[in-house]
């Protein structure tokens, strides 16, 4: 298989939930063995919202611990903290010199921010896509695993890279494109009957990887269902279908079939069904929760992981930056 250079950022916010794990992180885990992957914890990016200095480090640490527990392997990929690479802001600064106010002001995510947080429209927000471009092209990435909402940012990364190449008449940056892992995007449903599992619908809608067995049982006992099937209607509601979908993932096809049959025969008891699902959810997540606790307690390991990541990513970033500095005309005396 053709090995791609893949770059992806990880936001240092909150704990991972089952949706993040199965929808995103498991793909990263596979990708790291198939491609040349750079995964970074995007703490420079988080500065636009002025995080509390006391929280920033803990948040970075927590995502690092959880990604490692999910299977990211610092030997297989470059897993690093963005702020460990001063090369990134240097490239960001160079790219900023050729980024135009007009094109930055037209970016959809910037316009959203201006609308939603008019009291904090800082220059960092305006140039956010430039920093994203620097993150990506500093490793000469060919692919970036992004959703539809990030397509405009990726387009800008191509624009800034191409512009730099053109202005300095060097072929330094290849064009990065979206990377889709597999054909189908997995969608993990939430517990509140709505759409996908997401923190924006409250903690009761998500199962976090660190949730205790008691909390998982509590959340599932409160999961939304309906009044149950009857002879006239044996098609599950969206809420119940969501729970079936979760069961398929954590319990397997056989048990799902068992409850689907009970449902079709109007014999399902939601209390039992949810209890059974909760136990399987607990079994499914226990190894990860234990791994999180184990890694969390191993400060030495985290220190090593961060150091290895920094070295790997710096090696790649330094090469690119050297080319950029030469292209621009910086020369050693
Ligand atoms: P978020 O932090 O909510 O933006 O999620 C980060 C990434 O996790 C997303 O880009 C998706 O790839 C993945 N993700 C989040 N929620 C779900 C979900 N319910 N089902 C599948 N994937 C998800």
Residue 276's CATH number: 1.10.240.10
Catalytic (active-site) positions: 113, 196, 199
Residue keyed to tokens 């790649």 = 316
Atom of ligand 1 nearest to the CA of 197: 19
- What domain range is 143 assigned to? 5-186+298-328
Distance between CA atoms of 87 and 135, rounded to whole angstroms?
Answer: 10
Instruction: Output Rg (C-alpha) for the chain, integer angstroms.
Output: 23
Structural domain includes residue 86: yes
Ligand 1 contacts CB of residue 250 (under 6 A): no
Q: How far is CA 312 from the centre of its chain?
A: 21
The answer to whether residues 39 and 28 touch, using CB atoms and an 8 Å cutoff, is yes
Residues contacting residue 64 through CB under 8 Å, at least 6 positions apart = 41, 79, 81, 302, 305, 306
For residues 144 and 161, the answer to whether their CB atoms sit within 8 Å is no
Assess whether the C-beta atom of 181 lies below 6 angstroms from ligand 1.
no
Is 208 strand, coil or helix? strand
Q: Are 62 and 34 within one domain? A: yes
What mean pLDDT comes out for the span 316-325?
98
Examine residue 333 and state whether it is found in any structural domain, yes or no. no
Please tell me whether residues 66 and 109 are part of one structural domain.
yes
Q: What DSSP string runs through 67-98?
A: HHHHT--TTTSEEEEGGG-THHHHHHHHHHTT
Indicate whether 105 belongs to any domain.
Answer: yes
Residue 65, in any domain of the structure: yes
- Cα gap 328→326, rounded to integer Å: 5
Kindly state whether residues 24 and 171 are assigned to the same domain.
Answer: yes
Q: Is 147 in the pocket of ligand 1 (CB under 6 A)?
A: yes
Q: Is the CB of 187 under 6 A from ligand 1?
A: yes
Q: Are residues 61 and 208 in the same domain?
A: no
CATH number assigned to the domain comprising residue 50 = 3.40.50.620
Q: Which of 8, 14, 20, 248 to mutate to test the pocket of ligand 1 (most atoms within 8 A of CB)?
A: 20
Fill in the DSSP letter of residue 195: S
- If asked whether residues 45 and 180 sit together in one domain, one would say yes
* 15 to 173, 207, 224: CA distances (angstroms): 34, 10, 23
Residue having the nearest C-alpha atom to atom 6 of ligand 1: 20
Residues 285 and 141 in one domain: no
Q: What pLDDT shows up at residue 295?
A: 98
Q: Please report the atom of ligand 1 found closest to the CA of residue 190.
A: 19
pLDDT in tens, 48-101: 999 999 999 999 999 999 999 999 999 999 999 999 999 999 999 999 999 999
Residue 6, token pair as written in the block: 């893949």
188 lines ligand 1 (CB under 6 A): yes
pLDDT of 216 reads 98
**Rounded-to-10 torsion of CA 299, 303, 304, 306:** 130
Residue percentage of the chain with pLDDT more than 90: 91
The two counts, helices (H) then strands (E), for the chain are 15, 5
Of all residues in the chain, what percent carry a pLDDT higher than 70?
99
Shared domain for 277 and 311, answered yes or no, is no
pLDDT score for 125? 96
Q: Which atom of ligand 1 is nearest to the CA of 14?
A: 2
Q: Interhelix angle for 270-296 vs 53-70, to 10°? A: 110
| Alpha-carbon span 303 to 181, nearest angstrom | 30
d(CA 227, CA 108): 42
104: in domain: yes
Residues 161 and 218 in one domain: no
Give how many domains the chain has, as a whole number: 2
Distance 260 CA to ligand 1 centre (A): 27
Residue 193 within any structural domain of the chain: no
Residue 220 lies in a domain: yes
Q: Is residue 76 part of a domain?
A: yes
- Domain match, 29 and 122 both: yes
Whether 234 and 162 share a structural domain: no
What is the position in ligand 1's atom list of the atom closest to the CA of 147? 10
Tens digits of per-residue pLDDT, 154-193?
999 999 999 999 999 999 999 999 998 776 678 999 999 8
Do 28 and 154 fall into the same domain?
A: yes
Same domain, 157 and 231: no
Distance CA 34, CA 4 (A): 8
Q: Tell me: the pLDDT tens digits for 284-302?
A: 999 999 999 999 999 999 9
Mean pLDDT of 254-260: 97
């Amino acid at each position: 298989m053709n090995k791609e250079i893949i770059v992806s950022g990880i936001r240092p916010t909150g704990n991972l939930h089952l949706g993040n794990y199965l929808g995103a992180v498991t793909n990263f885990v596979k990708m790291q063995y198939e491609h040349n992957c750079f995964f970074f914890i995007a703490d420079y990016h988080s500065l636009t919202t002025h995080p509390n200095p006391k929280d920033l480090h803990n948040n970075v640490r927590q995502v690092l611990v959880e990604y490692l527990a999910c299977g990211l392997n610092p030997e297989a990929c470059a897993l690093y903290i963005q702020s460990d690479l001063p090369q990134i802001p240097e490239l960001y600064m160079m790219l900023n010199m050729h980024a135009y106010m007009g094109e930055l002001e037209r970016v959809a995510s910037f316009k959203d921010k201006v609308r939603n947080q008019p009291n904090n429209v800082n220059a960092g927000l305006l140039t956010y896509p430039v920093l994203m471009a620097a993150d990506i092209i500093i490793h000469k990435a060919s692919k970036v695993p992004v959703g539809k909402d990030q397509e405009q940012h990726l387009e800008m990364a191509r624009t800034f890279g191409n512009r730099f190449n053109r202005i300095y008449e060097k072929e330094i940056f290849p064009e990065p494109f979206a990377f889709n892992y597999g054909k189908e995007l997995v969608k993990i449903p939430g517990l509140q009957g709505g759409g996908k599992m997401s923190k924006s619908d409250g903690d009761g809608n998500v199962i976090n990887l660190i949730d205790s067995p008691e909390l998982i049982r509590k959340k599932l006992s409160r999961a939304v269902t309906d009044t149950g099937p009857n002879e006239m209607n044996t098609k599950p509601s969206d809420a119940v279908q969501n729970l079936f979908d979760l069961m398929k993932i954590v319990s397997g096809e056989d048990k799902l079939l068992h409850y689907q049959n009970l449902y079709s025969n109007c014999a399902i008891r939601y209390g039992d069904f949810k209890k059974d699902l909760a136990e399987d959810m607990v079994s499914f997540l226990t190894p990860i929760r234990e791994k999180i606790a184990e890694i969390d307690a191993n400060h030495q390991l985290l220190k090593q992981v961060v150091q290895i990541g920094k070295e790997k990513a710096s090696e790649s970033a330094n090469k690119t930056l050297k080319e950029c500095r030469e292209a621009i005309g910086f020369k050693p005396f």
